[in-house]
Amino acid sequence: MKNSTSATQRGFSLVVVAIAALALVGCAPAAPEPVTPTATDVWIKAVPELMDGMAMTGVFMTLENPTEADIELVGAKNTTEGLTETAMEIHEVVKGDDGEMKMQMVEGGIVIPAKESVTLKPGGYHVMYWDLLKPIPVGSHVTLTLEFSNGTTLDVDAVARDISTYAG
């Protein structure tokens, strides 16, 4: 995973806090650098073949927020060449008025509570790809950039996996 936020990044942000504290002791109060959440176990539901009108899929992962304040996942941009031209969306799956499950945009983004984590998984939160222009075979990799409410971004690499244990 080409995820720039890791243990080192977290160590780095500690340093930032320390410097900020020093600055306070001095005089000019510096705004603390916003912290990027971490993403682990990033995967995408494979699309072995493009089917008419069904060329879409979801990205799943666990997001962790090491800070004292909630952060939201508000958007994502595809960085895989030639995969899609349509904007990506942050989705949830809910029961509609007709009792059918449907997916919709998450109002205000997916909340990663302070000092906690949230897992995006099939049947729940996901990052949505629309209008795929090429298949995503099992085992291939897709890259995208996640966008958070505090202005930070995170490049992630998603490995394509099958969901059904019976699919041939």
Partner 1 sequence: MTHTPAEAQAETEVTRRGFLASAGVVSSYVAAGVAGFAGGAVTASAVSASSLCTQSQLRAQEQAATIPFFGDYQAGIMTPLQAYGTYMAFNLKSSTGIDQARSMMQLLTDDAARLAVGKPTLPDGDPYLATEPARLTSTFGFGPGFFSKLGLAGKMPVGFGELPAFSIDKLQPEYSGGDLVIHVGADNPLTVAHAARQLTRTANTFATPLWSQTGFNRPQYGEPTDQTGRNLFGQVDGTVNPRSAQEFDAQVWASSGPRWFHDGTCLVIRRIQMDFAGWDKLDDTKKEASMGRRLSNGAPLTGTSEFDKPDLEAKNAHGLSVIPAFAHVRRANTGKDTEKFLRRPLNYEDGLLPSGEPNAGLIFAAYMADIQKQFVPVQQRLADLDLLNTWITPIGSAVFALPPGARRGGYIGEGLLG
Q: Which residues bind Cu ion (CB under 5 A)?
A: 91, 103, 128
Binding partner selected for residue 162 from Cu ion, partner 1, none, CB under the kind-specific 5 to 8 Å limit: partner 1
Residue 145, phi then psi, degrees to nearest 5 = -115, 125
Does 115 bind partner 1 (CB under 8 A)? Our answer is no
CA distances from 81 to 60, 77, 78, 144, 155 (A): 20, 12, 8, 10, 14
Q: Please select the residue that binds partner 1; options are 41, 87, 105, 131, rule is CB under 8 A.
A: 41
Nearer to partner 1, 45 or 91 (CB): 45
Nearest approach in angstroms of CB 19 to partner 1 is 33
For CA atoms 111, 94, 83, 120, the dihedral sign is positive
Judged by CB under 8 A, which stretch of 69-77, 95-103, 125-133, 137-145 contacts partner 1?
137-145
- Strand pairing partners for 101? 95
The tokens describing 41, both together, are 């176990």
